[in-house]
Chain A
Amino acid sequence: MVDELHEKKLKDLEIKANRIRQLIIETLVAAGSGHSAGPLGMADIFTAFYFHILNHDPKNPFFEDRDRLVLSNGHICPVRYATMALAGYFPVEELKTLRKLNSRLQGHPHRTSLPGVETTSGPLGEGISQSIGMALAARLNNKKYHIYCIASDGEQQEGNTWEAVMFAGKDKINNLTVVIDRNNIQIDGFTENVMPLESLKAKYEAFNWEVLEADGNNIRAFVDAVREARAVFEKPTVIIAHTIPGKGVDFMENRFEWHGIPPDTQEVKGAPPKGEQAKKALEELKTLQGKVESEHQ
């Protein structure tokens, strides 16, 4: 089961999340392409998973009874890779190889390239289905591990998503918890302008899911939601996690322009000039957007 999060550990996780945000910026700059907003927004949730929620072992990524974390919106893999590196799956140094030739860190995750990446993703709408398959296998084998599937709000527009949602509701797949990164942005703009999703909650409930909501940038709130989800036995559960895209970097927060680009490649409205974006972002993260004077790093 998932433990309650005590104050001391929470502080530690918040520091780790901040470190992960720094690694994301550094990784994206080294790569020269990739997605900024989603990864930054999801750093708190990934920290919570890898450092508190998941039963896993970085030194033994394939151990049979591990919890599975499926990333359906594979494009935000920079946050997954950064978190995995910090957790000890591979050296932090290797993050510099993202998207480069011969790298294990593919632009969109590839299962057999990197131990610990549970599936291949990138094309949207396929993660929940795959998670269901894993959950069914666990059931057939009488295994107690849990499957978590992170999905984006944008991919709720894919028909395949609803095929999966329908199936899980029918089969009462209770060893599955989906986390939707509700950051309200997608490539062409805000989700509610491109193809409105609300009420997302009503949609999932109509398919017999338990729906929880949480502040995805508040680690304790998110952990509490996961604990609640794990206590639900009659239905699959979805946690609609409200996050701020670009969280942690003032000039990126809530701007959909930062969905699909890294810092330092383009002029963007409201941002420092092209060559100074990463520098400013890292400064902000170092001082938690001006809130502290950091002696670390």
Chain B
Amino acid sequence: MLNPDLKLNPKLFDPDVEVKPTRHGYGDGLLELGEQNPNVVALSADLTESTQAHKFAEKFPDRFFECGVAEQNMAAIAAGLGVSGKIPFISSYAVFSPGKNWETIRTTIIYNHANVKIAGHHAGIMTGPDGATHQATEDIAITRCWPGIKVIAPCDSIEAKKATIAAASIDGPIYLRFTRDKTPTMTTQDSPFEIGRTFEFWISDKPVATIFSTGYMTYYALLAAKELEQENISINVANVASIKPIDEQTILSLIDKTGAAVTVEDHQVTGGLGGALAELLAKKKPTPIEFVGLQDTFAESGKPLELIEKYGMGKGSIKEAVKKVISRKDL
């Protein structure tokens, strides 16, 4: 069942559950930050409205910098602002930032220790009709490898707003992953969110496997969990919003109960949440893992839900992965 302690959306499983894009959470969070903290500034690379920075831009035009189609410049300007006492938020599609400007960020923000917050949008294949060039599916892999970076993938727009606001309070760079499509609201204002923490969204009496999911894919993991329960397969589902730092303690205690893991993400199965979990478990508690995500391929144009199905990431694929990992236990 849904974990009652987390005060999740009681209508989560309704067919007409509220749907809102996580990028809206960024926009709302950024605006609120602007009101609270005069040092927060924002930059955009010609994608202001799409990345929802326009609300901030309209209210605080002196603190908003339009860089045009120039993501490297945007990142390095932010670095200059960041070492000068400002708290810059840069936003673009993740394929461009941190994609195109990866080295600029590495040198001027990460290694330079500049206090810049990087918002990568249109993450995942559910970006839809724009096609693979615009669907960021390697962004978690290329960011979590940076020393000291924090990597957060919020599961819904409510978490997205909390993550954005939290980003301003931490010292140093952080990567926030946002998405285009309207996706189900799973949490409420009262649900806990904390950088470095993972929360168990679905709990069972005697779970036999754990799903670790991130971003809106947690919704499909929950649908899978509910259906598996009907088949008498009990599992638990943990929402990993904080991919780095990863919540070792919670994850290991969940694995203690189940001894089998399935990772679920709208990202390549290489190097994302799956990779992070595999690194942790291989070191601390070797466990069979099945990886649900993009299987070393690019996706294509299409409707978000069509793409999830075609590329093996829907609730059916998740259920299969759970059954497979259970069969691998004690081998």
Contacts and interface: CB of A to CB of B under 8 A. Distances in A.
Interface in B54-69: 62-63, 65, 67-68
B107 A133 contact: no
Contacts of B107: 120-123, 126
Interface string A128-140: 0111111111101
Contacts of B67: 163, 167
Contacts of A112: 112-113
B95 to A, nearest CB: 17
A188 B80 CA distance: 31
Interface string B111-122: 111000000000
A130 B103 contact: no
A99 B144 CA distance: 28
B72 A134 contact: no
Contacts of B108: 119-120, 126, 129-130
Residue among A121, A125, A132, A166 with the most chain B CB within 10 A? A132
A30 interface: no
Interface string A105-123: 0000011100000111111
B73 A129 contact: yes
Contacts of B72: 125-126, 129, 159-160, 163
Interface string A161-192: 00110110001000000000000000000000
Interface residues of B, number: 29
A126 B104 contact: yes
Contacts of B113: 111-112
A141 interface: yes
B112 A111 contact: yes
Contacts of A126: 72, 76, 79, 104, 107-108
Contacts of A134: 80-81, 83-84
A126 to B, nearest CB: 5
A136 B65 contact: yes
A133 B112 contact: no
B83 A119 contact: yes
B98 interface: no
B111 A120 contact: yes
Q: Is the interface of A mostly helix, strand, loop or mixed?
A: helix
Given A112-B113, A129-B76, A166 B81 contact: no
Contacts of B63: 140
B85 interface: yes
Interface in B33-87: 41, 62-63, 65, 67-68, 70, 72-73, 75-86
A133 B111 contact: no
A135 B75 CA distance: 15
B296 to A, nearest CB: 30
B86 A137 contact: yes
Interface residues of A, number: 30
Nearest to A171: B65
B38 to A, nearest CB: 9
Contact of A138 (B68, B84, B112): B84
B113 to A, nearest CB: 5
Contacts of B77: 129-130, 132-133, 136, 164, 167
A152 to B, nearest CB: 16
B76 to A, nearest CB: 3
A119 B80 contact: yes
B83 A160 contact: no
A111 B80 contact: no
Residue among B77, B86, B104 with the most chain A CB within 10 A? B77
Given A137-B86, A160-B104, A129 B80 contact: yes
A141 B83 contact: no
B70 A133 contact: no
Interface string B255-275: 000000000000000000000
A76 to B, nearest CB: 16
Nearest to B106: A123
Given A112-B113, A126-B104, A133 B81 contact: yes
Contacts of A164: 73, 76-77
B76 A136 contact: no
Residue among A111, A119, A130, A167 with the most chain B CB within 10 A? A130
Interface of A: 110-112, 118-123, 125-126, 129-138, 140-141, 159-160, 163-164, 166-167, 171
In the A-B complex, the 9 residue pairs with the smallest Cβ-Cβ separation, listed nearest first, are A133-B80, A129-B76, A137-B84, A163-B73, A163-B70, A120-B112, A130-B80, A133-B81, A133-B77
23 contacts: A119-B112, A126-B107, A129-B76, A129-B77, A130-B77, A130-B79, A133-B76, A133-B79, A133-B81, A133-B82, A133-B84, A134-B84, A136-B65, A136-B81, A137-B81, A137-B84, A137-B85, A140-B63, A140-B86, A163-B73, A164-B73, A166-B70, A167-B73
